[in-house]
Chains A and B, each alone.
Chain A
Amino acid sequence: MLQFGKFVLTRAVMALITLIIVSLVVFSLMELVPGDCAERYLAFKNTQGSSIQIANELEAERIRLGLDRPFLERWGKWIVGAFQGDFGDSCILRVNIAQLLGDKFWLSLALCLSALLLAYAIAIPVGIIAAASSNAALNNGLRLFSYLGLAMPNFLLALMIMLIGTVYFGETLTGLFSSEYRDAPWSWDKIVDLMKHAWLPIFILGWSATAFALQTVRALMSDEIGKLYVTAAAARGVYGRRLLWRYPARHALGPIVNSLGFDLNRIFNELPVVALILILTDAGYLLLEALARSNDQQLAGAIIFLLTASIVTLNFLTDVLLAVLDPRVRKSILR
């Protein structure tokens, strides 16, 4: 128990360090964007018609935002705020980012996690069966599917489905909510409405993740299945599905649980592009908006940091889960 506690603690510290490095990377990127928040805000105000003495105002605004402080100090402030869920104000909209994001970020996270769940719900059983069977047609079919999953990027799939849906079925598959629920407070009806729309983004986000997971599961299972302990178990009279699940599958699934974080990474990767095509009103779309259109560094930084933080958290959780299941993992990290 003591050893386990020590493991969790070490792992937590490592996750924290990773997060801090990530925040440094993200913050430096934000700083590198030409022009700072003050300039952008004043430029925005000018377009609104209020004429300001740019030179004076700019200095005042910089000081007000604390942009005259040294880099490290600002980064420190940002990261401390970030851990408390406060990312400051958006450069252009002048709304607190936490407010602006609201449940949009959680919505995106839920979409991605569902996609991940879907991918594994399909990939694990199918992959195990494929590895165990010697059916050439099944195996080649799966292989082709996996390649197609890799070769056909999610955005292309989204595009095709959406276009075909609109043209031949006349349904609008875009968006996450029907118009009457978009700004309504959360209610049961709203959740039902969300479900009606969310299946498509979930399916699309899960598409290449499924293909990828399938390949991994199959490869790991075929490595395990020929090993002696499986033969020994079969000799003891364990057979069929029971044999597969109790012996090789258990070993094969370790590395897969371990890679959950990076699979989530892959799904996040596609989020902004899929959001663009399906016009989802989620964090992915906001990110795209902030980066491609309005150059709102503060908002973009916050979203990227939140995405990364979820991956780091998931990595941490899966490692702890693995340590519970398999004591060897605990030793590997403590050395």
Chain B
Amino acid sequence: MTSQTDPQINTPLSAEDQKAKEAYFTASQGQLIWARFKKQRAAMIAASVLLVLILSGIFAPFLSPYDPTIAGKNKDYTNGAPQIPQFCDKNGCSLRPFVHAVERERSMATNFRWVTQVNEDKRVYVHFFVEGWDYKLFGFIPMDTHLFGTKAEGGFVHLFGTDASGKDIFSRTLHAIWTSMQVGTIGVFIAFVLALIIGGVSGYYGGWIDSIIQMITDAVRTVPPIPLFMAVAAFMPPEMTAEARFFYISLILGFIGWPTLARRVRTHLLTERNQEYVLAAQLCGAPAGHVIRRHLLPSFTSYIIVDLVISFPYMVLSETALSFIGLGLKDPVNSLGVMLQNVTSADVLLNYQWYFIPVIFFIALVMAFVFVGDGLRDAADPYSDSHK
């Protein structure tokens, strides 16, 4: 690759090569990483998937036709199969996509039980930009317009079907992605700050301070995280509100997630702290905090960013596992873990396969993060050329 010294350095370069070389040498670190990242097809695909997922998370209320909570549920269509909008049926075609209406009926023929039936003669048209339930875009812009929905009285469209209490799985999935990512982001942020402080102090001072901090770090690292999460999460009183629970879970994730990054920061600082620029700063009278913050940590920003991206899926995974065993977020809140909880029965696999749709999104999200993180690591590591 371009970073290797040119073996034909003595031969005159063509103008084009010269330009390429100049661009290479004058590029900022960010540009170099981006240029290398772009060459990895898998990582680029993953990055676009990730972008789509993040955007659909941010715009979840706009994209989802129904309120994902109990309030927006469709009482008449519980455990309903996904409805795929179509253009044609036996009565002819239309330019506007539609689904067939569902009706619940109870009569002699159904043995006096409520049975949901598709009425193939009645169409529910799908309209775009319809007005529906109120929400706040980005948390503060009040809106009630949704990308799609139905205008017919009592008509619903459920792209991914509904669950046992009639909640729209499509809306829930989008909101769940966003919740899980928010929990992960807050967790990663707390872990990040803690890791920088602890690793920074440990690496900068070295000696016995380092030894003691390392002992504690190792002890925290030795305890398997999920049992530890479980132990901490067990403090949460069951009557806690959904919001409080949400922040508590993020806090726990953050407070347990720091050791790996802290160790990496410490190792970097230990090698870096003997450099001359550090000595120069110290001689100028810079206090320790300043040297760590302004001189030492910026010297490997790219590593830290990569580490954050890589540790993100683990946060999401931990949240999911925690919610899955019932210690994390609970049902009115939509997180991926809560959604996964619903697929634990054989009944679901046999009759309601659409419950598994959120699982696909979950795997896609984590995979996208892992691929992007790996691509970034390859792009940011200048020594990765040698073994490819």
Residue numbers of A with Cβ under 8 A of B are 14, 17-18, 21-22, 25-26, 29-30, 32-34, 147-148, 150-153, 155-156, 159, 163-164, 166-167, 222-223, 225-226, 261-262, 265-266, 268-273, 276-277, 287-288, 291-292, 295, 300-301, 303-304, 307-308, 311-312, 315
8 contacts between A and B (CB under 8 A): A32-B235, A164-B349, A262-B221, A271-B224, A273-B321, A277-B344, A304-B228, A307-B227
- A150-B317 Cα distance, complex, nearest whole Å: 10
- A159-B326 Cα distance, complex, nearest whole Å: 16
| Residue B343 interfacial (CB < 8 Å) | yes
State whether B222 touches A312 (Cβ < 8 A): yes
Tell me, rounded to whole Å, the shortest Cβ–Cβ distance linking B151 to chain A.
Answer: 39
Q: Majority SS of interface residues in chain B?
A: helix
Q: Which residues of B contact A21 (CB under 8 A)?
A: 215-216, 219
State whether B363 touches A151 (Cβ < 8 A): yes
Which of B77-85, B141-149, B155-163, B365-373 is near enough to bind chain A? B365-373
State whether B234 touches A18 (Cβ < 8 A): no
State whether B226 touches A292 (Cβ < 8 A): no
CB nearest to B326 among chain A residues = A292
- A295-B237 Cα distance, complex, nearest whole Å: 11
State whether A311 touches B366 (Cβ < 8 A): no
- A276-B340 Cα distance, complex, nearest whole Å: 14
State whether A156 touches B359 (Cβ < 8 A): yes
Q: Which residues of A contact B235 (CB under 8 A)?
A: 32-34
- A270-B367 Cα distance, complex, nearest whole Å: 19
State whether B226 touches A272 (Cβ < 8 A): yes
Q: Provided the pairs A153-B317, A167-B349, A223-B387 are in contact, do residues A268 and B227 lie with their beta carbons within 8 angstroms?
A: yes
- A34-B340 Cα distance, complex, nearest whole Å: 29
- A148-B366 Cα distance, complex, nearest whole Å: 9
State whether B370 touches A34 (Cβ < 8 A): no
What 1/0 flags go to B221-249 for Cβ under 8 Å of A?
A: 11111111011111101000000000000
Which residues of B (310-325) have their CB < 8 Å from a CB of A? Answer: 313, 317, 320-321, 324-325
Q: Provided the pairs A268-B224, A269-B225, A291-B230 are in contact, do residues A159 and B216 lie with their beta carbons within 8 angstroms?
A: no
| Residue B346 interfacial (CB < 8 Å) | yes
Q: A32-B235, A156-B359, A307-B223 are in contact. List 15 more A-B contacts (CB 8 A).
A: A14-B215, A17-B215, A21-B216, A21-B219, A29-B228, A30-B231, A34-B237, A147-B371, A148-B367, A150-B366, A153-B320, A159-B344, A265-B224, A288-B230, A291-B234
